[in-house]
Amino acid sequence: MTYHLITTRFSGHPPTFQLMHRIVENPFGLWFMLIGVVAAVFHFSNGLWSFFIHWGITVGSRSQRVSAYFSAVLFLMFGTMGIWAILAFYP
């Protein structure tokens, strides 16, 4: 997130298509952004699953298994969308 904030928010230039295109042209920038997006989506999905358990929404083992599948589907959907969004800037 720090890399993303420095290169987009605090660079002194508004975030544009050309800025993101320049970042992902570099293989390091591309992989860094892809790993960051997947890590953020995993953190969200895993946190949602943990939230359901700790707040007593999914008490039984069956409901925990269903919420695990739900979280996995969210991870796959949002992860795919995030990867596609980053790759849209790739030349």
Q: Residue-wise over 65-77: b if at least 16 C-beta within 10 A, else e?
A: eebbeebeeebee
Which pLDDT belongs to residue 1? 73
The percentage of residues in the chain with a pLDDT greater than 90, rounded to a whole number, is 66
Q: Which of 4, 8, 81 is nearest to 45 (CA)?
A: 81
Contact (Cβ atoms closer than 8 angstroms) between residue 17 and residue 89: yes
Which pLDDT belongs to residue 11? 74
pLDDT interval class at 3 (50, 70, 90): confident
pLDDT at 2 over 90: no
Length of the chain: 91
**In the predicted model, what is the mean pLDDT of the chain?**
91
Q: How far apart are CA 40 and CA 7, in angstroms?
A: 18
* Residue range 62-91: mean pLDDT, rounded: 95
Token duo for residue 29? 């920038």
For the chain, the domains span 2-87
